[in-house]
């Protein structure tokens, strides 16, 4: 059936009307429709489609005609109602494009006056050329993208150094510049401690620990893990170190990395010696023993480094850092004793990590307590897991390694793989302690509790002897709010420690005490 409505003296431009007709055709039961001003030409056009009714024929140039061919009268009515709504619709917000997306780099550069940093996270094969264009425009660059050839990295960094610009990355997940969190980063206090890190999670751990202790961050510069390898020669690491040395807002410098190539370490230590400001350094698994200068403070763990820097930053005696760790250990010893009571004498620890640096830190702490600890990312090659999906003995795995992340988001965002492992490892009779990290902040999973809780509950049901020890990397001002996450985890029976190192020590202590019993 064909139904018609004429609206006298209503003017709409033809394009708006075509848009309305397009929408009417998607109303269920509507076969065809016409929404036109009833001019002679339009009558001719709708005649061809069989919608020209006597009412429309009678209507004049200044009348709006709506004709609907529909299966049922109700469908036609629905269409007329939809037409009314569409014709009387007001734009949702005044147009003007306050948050307009720029069409490309040139457009963005023109539209944001004073732009000084480009954050690039496009596919690696395109990122190098894009970064080069940004440097050309005088922009500092953070390259979140990975899979960029090392030659490209070197070329970019050399060009940047020449221009006095900074290239963070490739594969740099985090930074804090002028107080602003970039990519995967936490909301931390501003302060006088400047960080250079070739380890992403390491940067997040030290900046949050410092912030949670009441000190603050001036700048935190990520370099990308490959920067301290021989091929790249710490181009960014050294440049960042110099920038912090010259920065009036930075009074303490904190360096975080896995052990650099020996030749590169030499370059870095030479640079440290030139700096007047106090320098704290943690090279996980390769502590600097040499006293480089009077106010140089090596550290074994991220935690120790963060607390030392925090003490320096707040003007406290450096010895206070040890006291802070000692106090934490006292509490965890009592906890460990209680947990050990529920366990068999021999049991294994499994660390399931989303942050790569934490896997390194765990391997600095745990072997001293438990002996050999296997890993898919071992500090010592002889501890390499034969099969990353088949854990044996005491083992810690990095779920952010390429073998796990191909074709899926990073495990800090997508918990599904680790959730599966939490349950499957809990079911193993030899396992009695699970060690986890939970990284909060921008870029990370915004609903961590919702996603992780079911697997934790299931794990406790499956294994009555199980202890789950976790660290929560984050601050109260992070979008997820650390205390909320900690409270919920504790309510579920998880033992939460302030730092990953603290969690590692507690987990190790539980196993050790169970064995002694």
Partner 1 sequence: MKLFETELRVINIGLESFRQGLNDCGVKSVQAQFKPPLSAEAGLFAKAAKHSARIAKANGKALGRILAAKPALVGMGIALDVIPGMKRDLILHAGPPVTWERMCGPMRGGIMAALMYEGLAANPKEAEKLAASGRIKYEPCHEHNAVGPMAGIISASMPVFIVKNEEHGNFAYATQNEGLGKVLRYGAYGPEVIERLKWMEKTLYPTLKAAIESLGRIDLKTMVAQALHMGDEVHNRNRAGTSLLYRALAPAVIKTCKDPETAAKSLEFINGNDHFFLNLSMALSKASLDAGRGVKDSSVVVVMARNGTDFGVQLSGTGGRWFTGPAQVPDALYFPGYSKADANPDIGDSAITETNGLGGFAIAAAPAIVQFVGGKAADALNYTLAMYEITAGESNIYKIPALDFRGTPTGIDVIKVARSGILPFIDTGVAHKNAGVGQVGAGVLSAPPEPFTKAFEYFAKNLK
**Binding residues among 6-25 for partner 1 as defined by CB under 8 A:** 13, 15-16, 18-19, 21-22, 25
Question: Whose Cβ is closer to partner 1: residue 87's or residue 513's?
Answer: 87
Q: Per CB under 8 A, which of residues 31..90 are in contact with partner 1?
A: 32-36, 41, 44-46, 48-51, 67
Question: Whose Cβ is closer to partner 1: residue 117's or residue 515's?
Answer: 117
Which residue in 338, 318, 307, 349 sits closest to 505, CA to CA? Answer: 349
Which residue in 209, 230, 229 sits closest to 220, CA to CA? Answer: 209
In the complex, minimum distance from the CB of residue 435 to partner 1, in angstroms, rounded to a whole number:
28
Q: Per CB under 8 A, which of residues 162..201 are in contact with partner 1?
A: 164, 166, 177-183, 185, 187
Q: Per CB under 8 A, which of residues 125..144 are in contact with partner 1?
A: 126, 129-130, 134, 139-140, 144
Residues 81-107, buried b or exposed e (16+ Cβ, 10 A)?
A: ebbeebbeeeeeeeeeeeeeeeeebee
In the complex, minimum distance from the CB of residue 118 to partner 1, in angstroms, rounded to a whole number:
5
Say what angle helices 302-314 and 500-516 make with each other, to 10 degrees.
130
Q: Per CB under 8 A, which of residues 245..264 are in contact with partner 1?
A: 246-247, 249
**Which residues, in sequence order, are bridge partners of residue 33?**
68
Question: Whose Cβ is closer to partner 1: residue 80's or residue 283's?
Answer: 80
Sign of the Cα pseudo-torsion (380, 382, 385, 387, in order): positive
Binding residues for partner 1, rule CB under 8 A, total 79
The CA distance from 508 to 465, in Å, is 15
In the complex, minimum distance from the CB of residue 113 to partner 1, in angstroms, rounded to a whole number:
8
Which residue in 349, 381, 376 sits closest to 365, CA to CA? Answer: 349
The CA distance from 2 to 425, in Å, is 67
Q: Per CB under 8 A, which of residues 281..320 are in contact with partner 1?
A: none
Q: Which two tokens stand for residue 54?
A: 């006597």
Which residue in 505, 443, 497, 403 sits closest to 209, CA to CA? Answer: 497
Residue 52 C-alpha from the chain's centroid: 59
Interface residue with partner 1, options 28, 60, 104, 149 (CB under 8 A): 104
Task: Fill in the per-residue mask, 212 to 231: x = in contact with partner 1 (CB under 8 A), - = not in contact.
Answer: ------xx------------
Q: Per CB under 8 A, which of residues 377..396 are in contact with partner 1?
A: none
In the complex, minimum distance from the CB of residue 515 to partner 1, in angstroms, rounded to a whole number:
44
Question: Whose Cβ is closer to partner 1: residue 141's or residue 510's?
Answer: 141
The DSSP line for 124-163 is HHHHHHHHHHHHHTT-EEEE------HHHHHHHHHHHHHH
- Do the strands 64-70 and 2-7 form a parallel or antiparallel pair, or are they unpaired? antiparallel
**Selected range binding partner 1 among 106-114, 224-232, 273-281, 314-322, rule: CB under 8 A:** 106-114
Question: Whose Cβ is closer to partner 1: residue 21's or residue 324's?
Answer: 21
In the complex, minimum distance from the CB of residue 10 to partner 1, in angstroms, rounded to a whole number:
17
In the complex, minimum distance from the CB of residue 246 to partner 1, in angstroms, rounded to a whole number:
6
The CA distance from 180 to 171, in Å, is 19
User: Does residue 96 bind partner 1 (CB under 8 A)?
Assistant: yes
Question: Whose Cβ is closer to partner 1: residue 185's or residue 511's?
Answer: 185
The DSSP output letter for 18 is: H
In the complex, minimum distance from the CB of residue 232 to partner 1, in angstroms, rounded to a whole number:
21
In the complex, minimum distance from the CB of residue 122 to partner 1, in angstroms, rounded to a whole number:
5
In the complex, minimum distance from the CB of residue 57 to partner 1, in angstroms, rounded to a whole number:
15
375, with CB counted inside 10 A (0-12, 13-18, 19+), is buried
The CA distance from 401 to 317, in Å, is 39
Interface residue with partner 1, options 88, 95, 387, 390 (CB under 8 A): 95
Question: Whose Cβ is closer to partner 1: residue 181's or residue 216's?
Answer: 181
Which residue in 12, 10, 61 sits closest to 40, CA to CA? Answer: 61
Which residue in 250, 252, 245, 246 sits closest to 311, CA to CA? Answer: 252
In the complex, minimum distance from the CB of residue 212 to partner 1, in angstroms, rounded to a whole number:
18
Question: Whose Cβ is closer to partner 1: residue 220's or residue 466's?
Answer: 220
Question: Whose Cβ is closer to partner 1: residue 30's or residue 435's?
Answer: 30
Helix (H, G, I), strand (E, B) or coil at 258: coil
Q: Per CB under 8 A, which of residues 422..481 are in contact with partner 1?
A: 441-443, 479
Q: Per CB under 8 A, which of residues 108..127 are in contact with partner 1?
A: 108-123, 126
Q: Cis omega (within 30 of 0) on the bond before 517?
A: no
Q: Is-contact 438 470, C-beta < 8 A? A: yes
The CA distance from 169 to 173, in Å, is 8
Question: Whose Cβ is closer to partner 1: residue 246's or residue 263's?
Answer: 246
Question: Whose Cβ is closer to partner 1: residue 105's or residue 513's?
Answer: 105
**Selected range binding partner 1 among 94-102, 293-301, 345-353, 509-517, rule: CB under 8 A:** 94-102
User: Does residue 344 bind partner 1 (CB under 8 A)?
Assistant: no
């Amino acid at each position: 059936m064909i139904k018609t409505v004429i609206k006298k003296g209503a003017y709409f431009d033809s394009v708006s009307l075509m848009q309305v007709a397009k929408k009417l055709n998607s109303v269920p039961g509507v076969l065809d429709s016409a929404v036109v001003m009833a001019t002679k030409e339009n009558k001719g056009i709708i005649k061809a489609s069989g919608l020209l009714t006597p009412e429309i024929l009678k209507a004049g140039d200044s009348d709006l005609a709506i004709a609907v061919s529909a299966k049922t009268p109700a469908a036609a009515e629905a269409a007329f109602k939809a037409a009314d709504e569409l014709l009387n619709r007001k734009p949702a917000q005044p147009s003007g494009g306050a948050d307009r997306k720029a069409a490309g780099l040139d457009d963005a550069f023109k539209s944001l006056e004073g732009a000084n940093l480009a954050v690039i996270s496009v596919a690696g094969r395109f990122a190098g050329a894009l970064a080069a264009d940004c440097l050309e425009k005088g922009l500092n660059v953070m390259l979140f993208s990975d899979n960029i050839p090392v030659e490209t990295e070197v070329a970019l960094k050399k060009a940047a150094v020449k221009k006095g610009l900074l290239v963070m990355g490739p594969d740099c997940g985090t930074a804090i510049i002028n107080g602003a969190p970039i990519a995967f980063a936490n909301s931390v206090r501003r302060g006088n401690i400047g960080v250079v890190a070739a380890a992403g999670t390491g940067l997040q751990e030290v900046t949050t620990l410092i912030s949670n202790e009441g000190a603050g961050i001036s700048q935190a510069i990520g370099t990308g893990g490959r920067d301290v390898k021989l091929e790249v020669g710490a181009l960014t690491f050294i440049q960042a170190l110099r920038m912090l040395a010259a920065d009036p807002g930075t009074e303490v410098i904190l360096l975080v990395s896995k052990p650099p190539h020996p030749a590169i370490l030499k370059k870095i230590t030479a640079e440290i010696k030139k700096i007047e400001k106090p320098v704290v350094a943690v090279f996980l698994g390769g502590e600097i023993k040499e006293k480089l200068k009077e106010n140089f403070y090596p550290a074994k763990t991220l935690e120790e480094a963060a607390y030392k820097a925090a003490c320096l930053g707040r003007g406290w005696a450096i010895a206070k850092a040890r006291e802070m760790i000692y106090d934490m250990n006292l509490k965890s010893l009592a906890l460990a004793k209680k947990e050990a009571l529920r366990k068999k004498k021999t049991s294994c620890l499994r660390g399931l990590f989303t942050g790569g640096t934490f896997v390194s830190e765990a391997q600095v702490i745990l072997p001293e307590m438990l002996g050999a600890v296997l890993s898919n990312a071992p500090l010592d090659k002889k501890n390499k897991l034969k099969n990353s999906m088949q854990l044996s003995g005491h083992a810690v795995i990095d779920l952010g390694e390429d073998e796990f992340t191909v074709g899926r988001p990073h495990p800090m965002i997508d918990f599904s793989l680790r959730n599966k492992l939490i349950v499957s490892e809990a079911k193993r009779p030899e396992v009695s302690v699970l060690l986890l990290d939970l990284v909060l902040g921008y870029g990370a999973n915004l609903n961590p509790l919702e996603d992780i809780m079911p697997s934790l509950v299931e794990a406790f049901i499956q294994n009555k002897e199980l202890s789950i020890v976790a660290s929560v990397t984050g601050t109260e001002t992070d979008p997820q709010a650390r205390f909320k996450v900690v409270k919920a985890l504790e309510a579920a029976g998880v033992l939460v420690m302030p730092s990953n190192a603290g969690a590692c020590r507690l987990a190790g202590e539980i196993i050790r005490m169970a064995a002694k019993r």
